[in-house]
């Protein structure tokens, strides 16, 4: 039996070489978003990337479900989209709905990071007073002494101290700077100017967050549109694109991304509410003299 | 003046030369490593500064890899059929039509500190071959550096088996000979010269009638190997202008070796099988055969370098002004897969063995320098061979890294603006899918591997054969860790003049 003949080898070689030459432009065009339209013409498409915080969430584009997120694949990437405006909706039972109008550009992926707070956030109240005999965690007296009168709850006292206006100079850490009116997190500067929040990027322009730019047009500052003046604000734990704000009628979480109307989700409704974060990102909300807390 | 009479002919490294020649040779030593590192560093830099271009390159490269795999798989499949055909052929009958009684097979088995059982198994296999043993001369080539115990093994074997072959010689290569590097090359060259004096000359045997098989000591010849070799020797136009290359199987201890070792060893087999169908790209490797006349004319194997098995081909190629080639006989010989008492040691040995094989890059400066000096070789031949050799070593050291590790670089290093492109999102998917299609070829390799397996020992579990099939999923790991990295290691050493010495692969047989 003879080795492969030179002729056969040449045929094979040219077959694969031609396949390579034919496939390479196809692959590159495909990878860069070119697709065939119904008239077999080339059109440039783009994509949407939606980051979703939970599994089991339905993601809709123009009211059509495109995917339900899974345990391992929570983010959704949809391509082959013609350049246009798309309505994105992210929803799951018992969670607040997130929607966004996003524009898709050719050869580009428009990113968005959704957030979904529970429709009803469970708060626990910290009582101002506790019965000494029944709250061992707060007692400083021996348990075999019967209670005689309610005692001020130290947890309440500690939580209340969070709401005392700061009188010292701002605490500066590499990640965050904090005063009542200015907060910085990962080079994002948020300023409260007479109840209106503005967000600007203080870092290298090449690494600014995606929502500062629409296609190649980037803005220096994003104004947070709230229905009433912002009394207090802070960054939402674990996210630098979300702010938690105290407005006249409650506490809310609002996104910085203003490519379409900013999503605002309710944390707690009520007049004159204020909030602070304690250790381990515990959210304390003050309603008059009452204090509530929850884990976000 | 013949090229083999020039001072360049036996150059081992740049320092063997002087003046401008030394500079040129040194530059050529740097070339393989510079190309490989240039590719890797270039890909990293492009990923940072021009990620779109890097992404295009990676997609094109992945497609090239897929096409190349398809092309090579056809060669592999054909050679598989050819080996099966050759194993089924009655070579005795074929040779019986030829006049071959005048031929002598001189088999050189160099050894260092291998166990008696390893040496004896190879001798036993030679006895089991269907060839007239009176026409076989065995040279057991020991090393003085290995000590008296090693030589004693030769004596024991001689005592037991010498009478059963036409000629039997045990040699002891002296250590510390000036200008020599301890290793297989210097040992078998010494053994060949001793055989010439003590066997050929003393029995008036013509050099042109002697076929030398330079085997590793663990080489087990299949029963009709020498008949097949003889037939090929007598059927080529000029047997003194060719070397004969069998296919190295690593079946001796395949049922004892771990999966990692089996996959790496069989990958080498498959590469040799592919090359057997592309003889113009083939150089001798490991156990090979060549006429004594050719060897004698150029002074045997080079004694001052590591890769004597492939260098002997390039020596002869340059000496014959390019009129020299390899005949792929597509008939197997079997050797040991790497196996040490402990798994970690086995892994270490595999790495070291493959670094030594990759050190074959030392042939690149030798070939290119020879092409500059030897004006008798046609330019077209020089260009073709230069490309094949340089591309071969470049591919070995870079392709697996580009395919399995560097494909994500533009996404990682490309920055925010690149990461917002659809190209950035598609790159991982496209490369992954191309890779998956490429990996389908592993099914063919698994089938071929299983078809050549020796019978399963009774004490092995029922599932052992199944593991032999699924072991091929290790390939993406093995070609990086035991292909690209030792390849890059060897080329980097050559680039910086940190020359490798000969490392003897330990042979171990589990009881």
Nearest 5°: the CA angle A228, A234, A235 is 120
Give B478's DSSP letter: H
User: Scanning the structure block, which residue is given the tokens 């591919």?
Assistant: B395
Region for A187 from its dihedrals, namely left if φ exceeds 0, alpha if ψ lies in -120 to 50, beta otherwise: left
Question: Can you tell me the mean pLDDT for B12-22?
Answer: 94
Q: How far apart are CA A9 and CA A5, in angstroms?
A: 6
pLDDT > 90: what percent of chain B? 85
pLDDT value at residue B316: 96
Residue of A nearest to B82 (CA): A1
pLDDT value at residue A179: 58
Q: Which comes out higher in pLDDT, residue A215 or B14? A: B14
Question: Strand B325-334 relative to strand B242-249: parallel, antiparallel, unpaired?
Answer: parallel
A206 touches B at CB < 8 Å: yes
Backbone angles phi, psi at B287, to 5 degrees: -75, 125
| Contact status, residue A214 vs residue A103, Cβ threshold 8 Å | yes
Nearest 10 degrees: Cα torsion B318, B323, B327, B328? 60
pLDDT in tens, B116-140: 999 999 999 999 999 999 999 999 9
Tokens of A282: 């515990």
Region for B155 from its dihedrals, namely left if φ exceeds 0, alpha if ψ lies in -120 to 50, beta otherwise: alpha
Give B421's DSSP letter: B
Give A63's DSSP letter: T
Give B443's DSSP letter: H
Residue ranges of alpha helices (H) inside B379-421 are 379-404, 409-413, 415-419
Three-state DSSP class for A169?
A: coil
Beta bridge partners, A246, equal A232, A251
Tokens of A155: 């947890």
pLDDT in tens, A43-95: 999 999 999 999 999 999 999 999 999 988 889 999 999 999 999 999 999 99
Question: Can you tell me the mean pLDDT for A248-253?
Answer: 95
| Contact status, residue B331 vs residue B287, Cβ threshold 8 Å | no
Question: Strand A196-201 relative to strand A221-224: parallel, antiparallel, unpaired?
Answer: antiparallel
pLDDT value at residue B212: 98
Three-state DSSP class for B444?
A: helix
pLDDT value at residue A148: 57
pLDDT band at A173 (very low <50, low <70, confident <90, very high): very low
Per-residue 3-state assignment (H helix, E strand, C coil) for B193-243: HHHHHHHHHCCCCCHHHEEEEECCCCCEECCCHHHHHHHHHHHCCCHHHEE
C-alpha torsion sign, points A176, A177, A179, A180? negative
A77 touches B at CB < 8 Å: yes
Verify whether the Cβ–Cβ distance B63 to A109 is below 8 Å.
no
Tokens of A247: 């407005």
Q: How far apart are CA B472 and CA B468, in angstroms?
A: 8
Cα-based distances in Å from B326 to B8, B313, B334, B356: 23, 8, 20, 22
| Contact status, residue A230 vs residue A195, Cβ threshold 8 Å | yes
CB atoms within 10 A of CB A153: 19
Instruction: Tell whether the model's pLDDT for residue A213 goes beyond 60.
Output: yes
Please report, in angstroms and rounded to a whole number, the separation of the first and last CA atoms in chain A.
Answer: 74
CB atoms within 10 A of CB A180: 12
A79 touches B at CB < 8 Å: yes
Tokens of B502: 């000969």
Instruction: Tell whether the model's pLDDT for residue A138 goes beyond 60.
Output: no
Question: Strand A171-172 relative to strand A176-178: parallel, antiparallel, unpaired?
Answer: antiparallel
From the number of C-beta atoms within 10 Å of its C-beta (0-12, 13-18, 19+), residue A229 rates as middle
pLDDT value at residue A136: 47
Question: Can you tell me the mean pLDDT for A10-15?
Answer: 97
Residue of B nearest to A29 (CA): B423
Nearest 5°: the CA angle B186, B209, B294 is 40
Q: Contacts from B377-385 at CB under 8 Å and sequence distance 24+? A: B377/B318, B377/B321, B377/B322, B378/B322, B381/B322, B382/B322, B384/B280
CB atoms within 10 A of CB B55: 28
Q: How far apart are CA B271 and CA B69, in angstroms?
A: 11
Which of B:26-65 have CB within 8 Å of A? 55-56, 59-60, 63-64
Instruction: Tell whether the model's pLDDT for residue A139 goes beyond 90.
Output: no
Element (H, E) at B125: helix B116-128
Verify whether the Cβ–Cβ distance B68 to A16 is below 8 Å.
yes
pLDDT band at A151 (very low <50, low <70, confident <90, very high): confident
Q: Which of A4-18, A105-119, B346-360, B401-415 has the lowest mean pLDDT?
A: B401-415
B171 touches A at CB < 8 Å: no
pLDDT in tens, B231-275: 999 999 999 999 999 999 999 999 999 999 999 999 999 999 999
pLDDT value at residue A215: 76
Q: In chain B, which residues have their Cβ closer than 8 Å to the Cβ of A27?
A: 59-60, 63, 430
User: Scanning the structure block, which residue is given the tokens 């428009």?
Assistant: A110
pLDDT value at residue B511: 55
pLDDT value at residue A204: 86
**Residue-by-residue DSSP string for B323-365:** --EEEEEEEEEE-PPP--SSHHHHHHHHHHHHHHHHGGGGHHH
| Contact status, residue A107 vs residue A43, Cβ threshold 8 Å | no
A18 touches B at CB < 8 Å: no
Q: Which of B59, B82, B422 sits opposite A27 (nearest CB)?
A: B59
| Contact status, residue A270 vs residue A230, Cβ threshold 8 Å | no
Give A207's DSSP letter: G
pLDDT value at residue A210: 87
Q: Which comes out higher in pLDDT, residue B68 or A172? A: B68
Question: Strand A109-113 relative to strand A46-51: parallel, antiparallel, unpaired?
Answer: parallel
- The mean pLDDT value of chain A amounts to 88
Q: How far apart are CA B131 and CA B216, in angstroms?
A: 20
pTM of the model: 0.85
Residues present in chain A in total: 296
Verify whether the Cβ–Cβ distance A31 to B279 is below 8 Å.
no
Instruction: Tell whether the model's pLDDT for residue A293 goes beyond 80.
Output: yes
pLDDT in tens, A221-240: 999 999 999 999 999 999 99
pLDDT in tens, B46-72: 999 999 999 999 999 999 999 999 999
pLDDT in tens, B348-365: 999 999 999 999 999 999
User: Scanning the structure block, which residue is given the tokens 């083999």?
Assistant: B4
- The mean pLDDT value of chain B amounts to 93
Q: How far apart are CA A254 and CA A242, in angstroms?
A: 6
A46 touches B at CB < 8 Å: yes
Structure ipTM = 0.88
Q: Which of B63, B82, B276 sits opposite A23 (nearest CB)?
A: B63
Name the range with the highest mean pLDDT among A19-33, A165-179, A213-227: A19-33
CB atoms within 10 A of CB A99: 14
Instruction: Tell whether the model's pLDDT for residue A140 goes beyond 60.
Output: no
Question: Can you tell me the mean pLDDT for B78-106?
Answer: 96
Nearest 10 degrees: Cα torsion B29, B30, B32, B37? 160
């Amino acid at each position: 039996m003879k080795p492969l003949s030179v002729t056969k080898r040449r045929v094979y070689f040219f077959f694969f070489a031609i396949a390579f030459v034919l496939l390479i432009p196809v692959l590159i065009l495909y990878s860069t978003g070119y697709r065939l339209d119904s008239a077999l013409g080339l059109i440039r498409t783009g994509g949407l990337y939606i980051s979703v915080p939970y599994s089991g969430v339905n993601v809709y584009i123009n009211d059509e479900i495109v995917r339900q997120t899974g345990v391992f694949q929570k983010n959704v990437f949809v391509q082959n989209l013609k350049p246009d405006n798309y309505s994105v909706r992210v929803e799951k039972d018992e969670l607040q709905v997130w929607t966004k109008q996003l524009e898709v550009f050719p050869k580009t992926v428009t990113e968005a990071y959704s957030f979904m707070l529970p429709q009803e956030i469970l708060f626990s109240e910290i009582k101002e007073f506790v019965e000494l005999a029944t709250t061992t965690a707060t007692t400083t007296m021996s348990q075999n002494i019967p209670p005689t009168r309610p005692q001020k709850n130290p947890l309440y006292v500690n939580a209340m101290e969070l709401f005392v206006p700061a009188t010292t100079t701002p605490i500066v850490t590499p990640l965050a700077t904090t005063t009542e009116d200015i907060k910085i997190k990962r080079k994002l500067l948020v300023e409260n100017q007479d109840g209106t929040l503005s967000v600007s990027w203080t870092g290298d322009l090449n690494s600014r967050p995606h929502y500062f730019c629409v296609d190649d047009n980037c803005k220096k500052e994003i104004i947070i549109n709230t229905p009433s003046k912002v009394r207090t604000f802070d960054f939402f734990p674990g996210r630098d694109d979300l702010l938690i704000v105290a407005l006249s009628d409650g506490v809310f979480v609002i996104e910085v991304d203003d490519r379409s109307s900013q999503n605002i989700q309710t944390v707690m409704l009520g007049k004159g509410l204020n909030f602070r974060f304690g250790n381990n990102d515990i959210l304390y909300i003050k309603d008059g003299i009452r204090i509530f807390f929850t884990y976000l | 003046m013949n090229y083999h009479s020039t001072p360049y002919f036996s150059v081992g490294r740049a320092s063997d030369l002087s003046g401008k020649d030394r500079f040129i040779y040194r530059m050529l030593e740097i070339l393989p490593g510079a190309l490989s590192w240039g590719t890797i560093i270039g890909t990293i830099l492009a990923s940072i500064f021009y990620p779109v271009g890097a992404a295009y390159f990676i997609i094109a490269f992945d497609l090239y890899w897929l096409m190349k795999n398809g092309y090579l798989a056809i060669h592999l499949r054909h050679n598989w059929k050819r080996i099966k055909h050759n194993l089924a052929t009655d070579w005795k009958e074929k040779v019986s039509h030829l006049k071959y009684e005048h031929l002598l097979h001189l088999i050189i088995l160099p050894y260092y500190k291998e166990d008696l059982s390893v040496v004896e198994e190879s001798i036993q296999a030679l006895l089991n071959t269907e060839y007239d043993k009176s026409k076989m001369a065995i040279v057991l080539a020991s090393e003085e550096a290995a000590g008296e115990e090693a030589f004693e093994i030769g004596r024991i074997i001689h005592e037991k088996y010498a009478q059963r072959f036409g000629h039997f010689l045990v040699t002891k290569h002296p250590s510390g000979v000036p200008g020599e590097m301890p290793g297989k090359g210097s040992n078998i060259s010494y053994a060949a010269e001793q055989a010439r004096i003590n066997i050929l000359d003393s029995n008036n045997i013509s050099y042109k009638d002697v076929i030398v098989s330079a085997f590793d000591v663990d080489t087990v010849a299949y029963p009709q190997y020498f008949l097949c070799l003889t037939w090929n020797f007598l059927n080529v136009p000029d047997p003194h202008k060719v070397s004969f290359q069998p296919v190295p199987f690593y079946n001796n201890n395949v049922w004892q070796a771990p999966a990692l070792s089996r996959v790496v060893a069989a990958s080498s087999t498959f590469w040799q099988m592919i090359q057997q169908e592309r003889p113009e790209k083939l150089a001798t490797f490991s156990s090979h055969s060549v006429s004594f006349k050719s060897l004698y004319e150029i002074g045997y194997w080079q004694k001052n370098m590591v890769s004597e098995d492939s260098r002997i081909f390039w020596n002869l190629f340059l000496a014959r002004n390019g009129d020299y080639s390899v005949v792929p006989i597509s008939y197997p010989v079997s050797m040991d897969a790497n196996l040490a008492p402990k798994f970690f040691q086995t892994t270490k040995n595999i790495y070291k063995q493959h670094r030594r094989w990759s050190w074959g890059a030392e042939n690149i400066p030798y070939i290119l320098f020879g092409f500059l000096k030897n004006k008798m070789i046609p330019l077209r031949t020089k260009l073709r061979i230069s490309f094949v050799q340089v591309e071969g070593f470049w591919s070995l050291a870079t392709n697996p890294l580009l395919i399995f590790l560097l494909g994500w670089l533009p996404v990682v290093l490309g920055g925010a603006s690149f990461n917002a492109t659809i190209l950035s999102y598609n790159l991982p998917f496209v490369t992954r899918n191309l890779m998956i299609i490429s990996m389908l070829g592993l099914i063919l390799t698994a089938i071929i591997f299983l078809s050549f397996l020796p019978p399963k020992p009774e004490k092995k579990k029922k599932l052992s054969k199944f593991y032999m099939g699924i072991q091929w999923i290790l390939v993406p790991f093995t070609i990086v860790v035991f292909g690209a990295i030792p390849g890059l290691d060897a080329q980097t050493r050559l680039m910086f003049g940190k020359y490798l010495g000969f490392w003897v692969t330990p042979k171990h047989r589990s009881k």
